[in-house]
Structure 1
Amino acid sequence: MRRDRVSGVILAGGESKRLNGLYKPLLEVGGRPMILYSLEALRPASDEVLIVVRGREKADSLTGVVGSAARIVVEPDSPPRAPLIGLIEGARSAEGRTVLVAPADTPFVTPRVYEILDAELAGGDADAAVPTWPNGYIEPLVAAYRRREFLRAAEEVVSRGELRISSVLSLLRVKLVPVGALSERPEVTFLNVNTLKDLLLARRMMKDLGGAREVPG
């Protein structure tokens, strides 16, 4: 059986208020811009990778980093602004039946995470495969979605004036995948860089790992 086409979508958004307005995708961890880690995590499981960015200037700066390895999608520079809006733009521009989504600030997420999520989605009747923590917290921005079903639900949610991805998930058939099935050390794999403290921690961890994102057990 032929595998459905898969699109990877990286949410590269705008500046980070908690990092003094710095543009996170271009901040370096392990001597490399974080956007490259997201790109490398998605590529093995994806037939194409799109990067959703806000503003032409940022689009140009990312093109200079990723070259032809990804297609840049410029998000409308008008309200509302939220990760959900970026994901909608990416899904609209994608060609795949399945969309794998990645933030641009999770430098330790590995290709294995997306390969498993894609397989979980392909192997059942769910519309989304979303990592979940033992405490019930979910990772909807490191996930896999059926593109058409996601767009239908997301556009309905936005039409109601909502921007929460949890509201979208409530309209979908969701397969929750334990983070322990995706990584031996999920607290590392799913580390999200939001603050200067996070950035310094990520740099130290990458150095300790010798530049490799695969975390030893």
Structure 2
Amino acid sequence: MGAHHGRRGVDGYDAVVLAGGAARRLGGVDKPGLDVGGRTMLERVAEAVRDAALLVVVGPPRPRPAARYVREDPPGAGPLPALRTGLAEVGSPWFALLAADMPFLDGEAVAALRRAAAVGDGAVLVDAEGRPQWLAGLWRTAAVRAALADYSGRSLRGLLAPLDPAEVLRPEAARDCDTPEELARAREAGDSEPRGRLGPGGS
């Protein structure tokens, strides 16, 4: 394979999807398993990284998507323990770190992250307000492992922000579903989804 990155940016990468937390604002339902446009949110995220060398899902095993399923200890301990558990499985020089509740994430957004990340240690999607989405990024594996080894904090932002990631403005792809309103909006867009781009409210 040679170099880590060519015209498309980062070539080989693994994907780690965090799919374990209980969705308190959605009444404790299994958020990754919720249906949007005929597929679960987790399946939609998995589809966006279908060219990853390895898909690691940190959460309870499911029939779909096909992935390496692992659990943080204790389950539900939060994103940092989940990241540590998922990262232990990563063998590629780069990995995508994603939440399972981003039904609008697509391959184009992941390709944009791969292009942007290649010049440094990572890249993250930013939302319409310009806030980085720390669970929507692509990172140099060695840089995150080194940062984790020295990190005693509790937040992903505290861990990842010092790596100075490139920012990729993709407000639609960066949207997650934390509330019943956001889920309803996602389902409306998913139901009217043309093959290709998703508009904010469908057609």
Q: Could you state the TM-score of these two structures normalised by the residue count of structure 1?
A: 0.80
Distance verdict in 2 for CA 1:133–1:78, change over 3 Å: closer
- Contact 1:110–1:214, Cα closer than 8 Å, also in 2: no
Percent identical among aligned pairs is 26
Partner of 1:120: 116
- Tell me the CA shift for residue 71 of structure 1: 1.0
Letter in 1 for 2:182: D
Residue 145 of structure 2, aligned match among 140, 146, 151:
151
Residue 41 of structure 2, aligned match among 34, 44, 55:
34
Aligned CA-pair RMSD: 2.1
Alignment of 1:78-157 (within 5 A): 81-122=77-118, 124=119, 126-133=120-127, 135-157=129-151
Query: What SS does the aligned partner of 1:142 have?
Result: strand
Is 1:174–2:171 an aligned residue pair?
Answer: no
Distance verdict in 2 for CA 1:190–1:73, change over 3 Å: same
Letter in 1 for 2:103: P
Distance verdict in 2 for CA 1:208–1:87, change over 3 Å: same
Partner of 1:25: 32
Query: What SS does the aligned partner of 1:169 have?
Result: helix
Query: What SS does the aligned partner of 2:80 have?
Result: helix
Query: Quick one: distance in 2 between partners of 1:118 and 1:102?
Result: 14
- Tell me the CA shift for residue 173 of structure 1: 3.6
- Tell me the CA shift for residue 213 of structure 1: 5.8
Partner of 1:214: 197
Q: Could you state the TM-score of these two structures normalised by the residue count of structure 2?
A: 0.85
Distance verdict in 2 for CA 1:30–1:89, change over 3 Å: same
- Contact 2:33–2:42, Cα closer than 8 Å, also in 1: yes
- Contact 1:129–1:145, Cα closer than 8 Å, also in 2: yes
Distance verdict in 2 for CA 1:189–1:78, change over 3 Å: closer
Stretches of structure 2 that go unaligned for 5 or more consecutive residues are 5-11
Provide, for residues 31-52 of structure 1, a one-character-per-residue CA deviation record: whole Å limited to 9, x for no partner: 22111001000112x1111101
- Tell me the CA shift for residue 111 of structure 1: 0.7
Partner of 1:191: 175
- Tell me the CA shift for residue 116 of structure 1: 1.6
Partner of 2:2: 2
Partner of 2:64: 65
Distance verdict in 2 for CA 1:22–1:136, change over 3 Å: same
Distance verdict in 2 for CA 1:213–1:163, change over 3 Å: farther
Stretches of structure 1 that go unaligned for 5 or more consecutive residues are 180-185
Letter in 2 for 1:2: G
Letter in 2 for 1:26: G
Partner of 2:18: 11
Residue 53 of structure 2, aligned match among 47, 52, 56:
47
